[in-house]
Structure 1
Amino acid sequence: MSGFRDMVADDIHSTFLNLDEFAEKRTIRYDGEEYRDIPIVLSGLKEQDRRQLQSDHIQGLYLVTSVLHCALSDLGGNQPEKGARIQVNDREGGGGFFRTFYVAASVCELGMLRVELEAMDE
């Protein structure tokens, strides 16, 4: 069975996080650490009308949701925890604008992270 796991580990960067096809290099800030120029796939960045409670009088705020895929090893073996804050920059080479998200869910399968992200936007 370890042969299969080795093949999957090789495929994470050569296939799923291939910079020529799907992935982009971005900088991630999580848990006081900065992970520069790691290959990620950030998909589904979209705004949704947020649910408004009867006692909530704030209008014009939207819930932004997205899904982050990256290798567990690229985050130093740290799987983001639900409710934690994570920041992703908007361009390669670090710097730029860092958007802050909150982790809604996080799953790791065979060394690949799937992190569901949420943020409020105006």
Structure 2
Amino acid sequence: MNTFKDIIKQDIKNTFINDDEFSDKHYIDGKEMSVITDGIELLEREKKLKDKTDGVFLKQKLIYVAAEDFGPLPRIGRIIKLDKSDYRVIDAIAENGMYSLTLEAYKG
């Protein structure tokens, strides 16, 4: 008999992280994996935070990846390469086999 946690784990690959439904292939640190990008949730989070930089363009992304594809939850401040751009992890949350990662890149 499957537990609820087992069902959620199956749903991550079969439903949420499914390239035919919600996700797209991207490269993270040179490894291809399925990634969901969420601009709407990021806008909601940005409303709660105020950018305190002067003269710097801030580029942010909110992504979701399967924990088993990504590996260990990255620490805050770690630099990861998403496709061809470097981003700093500013928030990392593990949620039932998925990671929610908020990334940002500064350009002068």
Gaps of 5+ in 1: 54-58, 90-97
Alignment partners' CA distance in 2, 1:50 and 1:62: 10
Larger helix fraction of residues: 2
Q: TM-score, normalised by structure 1?
A: 0.72
Q: Residue 80 of structure 1 aligns with which residue? A: 74
Calculate percent identity across the aligned residue pairs: 28
- In the alignment, the residues of structure 1 paired with residue 86 and residue 100 of structure 2 have an alpha-carbon distance, to the nearest angstrom, of 17
Equivalenced residue count is: 101
State the alpha-carbon separation in 2 of the partners of residues 78 and 87 from structure 1: 16
Q: TM-score, normalised by structure 2?
A: 0.81
TM-fit CA distance, 1:71: 0.5
Q: Which residue of 1 aligns with 2:96?
A: 110
C-alpha RMSD over aligned residues: 2.4
Which of 30, 38, 56 aligns to 1:43? It is 38
Equivalent residue letter for 2:37: L
Q: Which runs of 4+ in 1 moved over 4 A?
A: none
Partner of 1:56: none
Report the CA distance shift for 1:52/1:110 in structure 2 as closer, same or farther (over 3 A).
Answer: closer
* Structure 2 residues without counterparts, runs of 5 or longer: none
- Asked if residue 100 in structure 1 is aligned to residue 55 in structure 2, the reply is no
